[in-house]
Amino acid sequence: MNSHSSPDEPATPVRVSTGRLADGEQVQRLLTEAYERYALVHEGRVADYIPLLAQASPDLFGLAVVSVDGDIFTAGDADYEFSIQSVSKPFVFALVAEALGHAAAREKIGVNNTGLPFNSVMAIELNDDRTANPMVNAGAIATTSLIPGDTADAKWQFIQQGLSRFAGRELQLDGEVYASETASNRRNQGIAKLLAGYDRMYFEPLEATDVYTRQCSLNVTVTDLAVMSATLADGGINPITQQRVVSADTCKRVLAVLATAGLYEHSGEWLYDIGLPAKSGVSGGIMTAAPGKGGLATFSPPLDSAGNSVRGRRATTMLSDVLGLNLFASKSAE
């Protein structure tokens, strides 16, 4: 056995320990309160390295919670569509872990934090396994390259259908975002080619980058993101459609990687303050999963220096506290 083999099956069934989400009235009240409070924050900058994203209004702000029972709560711009960007990464990783098994997925991609920005080339040079993890661009493009399918189109279909199952509705490509990012995509192409040089790319690198760019250009609302994260929080069953999307084991692994690397080089601070697995994206979305309770998502385009939504981070910090979501919080037995 090498260090990447899966552990022995436990002799007794694994126990799952979770609480429940607060009652609906309280969730809605606190969500509205978080919206009103953080709509007043005007910090951070809208991303501009993908030309079309620079046009997003800094005033957009939406919040959504979806419980594992399928209740939906929203505040602000909950129906506004934006490109999913890096929030696609955990869901594509989930599809790959499901198809290959979690042990092979770890061996081919890696699951450790880089401590460096999401599109770092230096991280590839510094880490022996090169790809680092599925939440930074290097590991994410490698993950996309592992999606089942012999052609780029087949892989794309697999991803679009898989992410649509997570969302419980058919997600569509934003053609303008895709064109804009394709025209400014040299760095990701370089990362994919560099990985190919290290035998850590599992499909033709430029085609894999193109499929990755398409996956980032899928349009979602903040409510979609909350449904998608609620599916990960619900052991792989979409609480709205009741469809099983991936196994409970896959969810457990995906959430572990998110806790480690979902907020890039701020992942440690995020876990320290919020205590939940989460993923951010450059268009301003953040999805957060509270296992056994539900999914929380925020959307607001202005970002901090690590590329995470400023209002999203503040609102999630508050909601994790007031809704009692932090995974590490416990009371003494006395």
Q: Which residues are annotated as a binding site for substrate?
A: 86, 137, 181, 188, 212, 264, 282
Residue 62 or 235 having the CB closest to ligand GLN = 62
Name the site residues for ligand GLN (rule: CB under 6 A).
85-86, 118-119, 137, 181, 188, 216, 281-282, 307
CB of 78 to ligand GLN, least distance (A): 20
CB of 68 to ligand GLN, least distance (A): 27
Residue 47 or 146 having the CB closest to ligand GLN = 47
Question: Binding-site residues, please?
Answer: 86, 137, 181, 188, 212, 264, 282
Residue 90 or 294 having the CB closest to ligand GLN = 90
CB of 207 to ligand GLN, least distance (A): 16
Residue 145 or 238 having the CB closest to ligand GLN = 145
CB of 89 to ligand GLN, least distance (A): 8
CB of 3 to ligand GLN, least distance (A): 29
CB of 166 to ligand GLN, least distance (A): 17
**SS3 assignment for the chain:** CCCCCCCCCCCCCCCCCCCCCCCHHHHHHHHHHHHHHHCCCCCCECCCCCHHHHHCCCCCCEEEEEECCCCEEEEECCCCCEECHHHHHHHHHHHHHHHHCHHHHHHHHCCCCCCCCCCCCHHHHHCCCCCCCCCCHHHHHHHHHCCCCCCHHHHHHHHHHHHHHHHCCCCCECHHHHHHHHCCCHHHHHHHHHHHHCCCCCCCHHHHHHHHHHHHCEEECHHHHHHHHHHHHCCCECCCCCCECCCHHHHHHHHHHHHHHCCHHHHHHHHHHHCCCEEECCCCEEEEEECCCEEEEEECCCECCCCCEHHHHHHHHHHHHHCCCCCCCCCCCC
| C-alpha pair distances (Å), 56 with each of 81, 184, 264, 313 | 11, 17, 22, 18
CB of 64 to ligand GLN, least distance (A): 19
Cα angle 254, 246, 278 (rounded to 5 degrees) comes to 30
**CA–CA dist 61, 37 (Å, integer):** 11
The residue number whose beta carbon is nearest to ligand GLN equals: 86
Residue 118 or 156 having the CB closest to ligand GLN = 118
Residue 138 or 196 having the CB closest to ligand GLN = 138
Residue 83 or 231 having the CB closest to ligand GLN = 83
